[in-house]
Amino acid sequence: MSSSRLTSVDDNEAIMFKEIQLSDVFPDSKTFVDSIPKQPMAQIAALYQVEKLKPDFDLEAFVHANFELPQAVAADFKTDPNQTVEQHINQLWDVLTRKPDATTDHAAVSSLIPLPNPYVVPGGRFREVYYWDSYFTMLGLQASGRWDLIEGMVNNFAYLINTRGFIPNGNRSYYEGRSQPPFFALMVDLLAQHKGNAVYETYLPALVKEYEFWMSGAPQLTADSPSHRRVVRMADGSILNRYWDDIAAPRPESFKEDYELAAEAGANKANMYRHVRAAAESGWDFSSRWFTNADDMKTICTTDILPVDLNALLFNLEKTLAHIYKTTGNSAEAEKYSRLALLRQQALMNYFWNEKTAFFHDYNIAQQQQAPVLSLAAVFPLYFQMVEQTVADKVAHKIVQNFMQAGGLTTTLAHTGQQWDAPNGWAPLQWVAIQGLRHYHHNTSAEEIKKRWVALNRTVYQRTGKLVEKYNVYDTSLLGGGGEYELQDGFGWTNGVLLALLAE
């Protein structure tokens, strides 16, 4: 169901949408926004206003009669117990691949944003492509030699940048207010490994547009007006970035959860919605990283937080642009982006590094101090080789001493019930940590993380026949949990990282 028309509380469609989403028809709010109306929405909404007044009205029956409900991806896929995990993943690529989307009148009433090339979805309730997930999925496609899919997905993301001005969280209209961690430059790097350096020049315009999206409003920042959308001017003049969402309303795909959270908090609801949406842009939805009280989601303050991982990713984008301009002979632009990367690198040490804890912290601009939560976001500066060896050594020591568990690395040290906290471990963060440690010659630690993570993935696969979205790294006999929805299997980035590690 398209969310583009849900803008007016006086609109029959918006009233119907709200009442259905606040009911218990679907345990998962995402189900309804992924549904497709069987007749024009205006007709269904008008019919709803009449039918709901009848004493025998059955809301669930009404929804099923008027909407085509989505199916979970790979829900009926049966694992062959005789297959190795590598064979299982290679078979799953085709199951998780979506064909190019038809741009028809039917698409106009669907929330799906059509894409011109095939793409791999994560699986389960995630029936569409996701931005940062896709990079880690591509690592596995690389190991499988599926360069056709990789190139098609990179072209899809370039298409979204060129037609939408940025890469949305996923190819759904209800994600239009936000993006996700900017991994597009790394996708281009990956494709260049296969097709050569000419790839960089091909995607240069899209890379520049992506950078402009994240830096929108930066030239206008002043000491009196220090923030705009995703950019923040610090007291020393440094420009750093935060996560944001342009819409201050409940997420359509998590409408009931957001509506009830804001009602319970009783604070400024628009601010609450924006903090929640910004956390969704981070990909870490949700984590104590974004809370002033680690155990209370009502204290979420995402747009007050400058995240260390986001700023490391944008450093990489600046370095990538500098490299491309240098190779194409544009020295002025090359110097500009090199200078921007250097300034961000210096700001990283000024604002995120804590000598006492020997770790990188996010920075809270409202409190003018570092946030207390320790998280695996601290490995991103190592992944992008932003720091001196002595700093990397301290981070590596902390990772091994505090984050290493039986099944790999825990996401944070806080047990809050949020899915991006302990006891969960996630494939993308294992990859970033392993590669980051290797960059600074902590190979033994990197290999130990790899060994534990691979063993956990294999154990769960042998026990359940599934590769899942997240894992319990503290107790390997238990599955990962927490968050707004049930544990999902499929699963794109788990498959990709595991296959890449096994292929080494």
Residues identified as active-site? 285, 469
Whole-number Å distance between alpha carbons of 98 and 8: 33
Whole-number Å distance between alpha carbons of 148 and 353: 41
Contact status, residue 357 vs residue 367, Cβ threshold 8 Å = no
Q: Residue 490 corresponds to which tokens in the numbers above? A: 């499929």
Handedness of CA 415, 137, 468, 245 (dihedral sign): positive
Phi, psi (rounded to 5 degrees) for 113: -90, 115
Q: Residue 503 corresponds to which tokens in the numbers above? A: 């292929």
In total, the chain counts a number of residues equal to 504
Contact status, residue 29 vs residue 256, Cβ threshold 8 Å = yes
Residue type at position 101: D
Contact status, residue 127 vs residue 34, Cβ threshold 8 Å = yes
Maximum distance among all Cα pairs of the chain, rounded to whole angstroms: 74
Whole-number Å distance between alpha carbons of 85 and 103: 36
Q: Residue 398 corresponds to which tokens in the numbers above? A: 């902390």
Omega cis (within 30) before 118: no
Whole-number Å distance between alpha carbons of 256 and 250: 8
- What burial letters (b/e) apply to 337-364, b meaning 16+ CB within 10 Å? bbebbebbbebbeebbbeeeebbbbbbb
Whole-number Å distance between alpha carbons of 433 and 435: 6
Whole-number Å distance between alpha carbons of 396 and 381: 12
Omega cis (within 30) before 360: no
Q: C-alpha angle 251/253/256, rounded to 5°?
A: 70
Helical pair 85-96 and 131-143, crossing angle rounded to 10 deg: 130
Whole-number Å distance between alpha carbons of 200 and 203: 5
Handedness of CA 448, 182, 225, 287 (dihedral sign): negative
Whole-number Å distance between alpha carbons of 375 and 420: 9
Facing residues of 119 across strands?
98
Residue type at position 331: S
| Closest to 494 measured CA to CA, from 97, 89, 162, 28 | 89
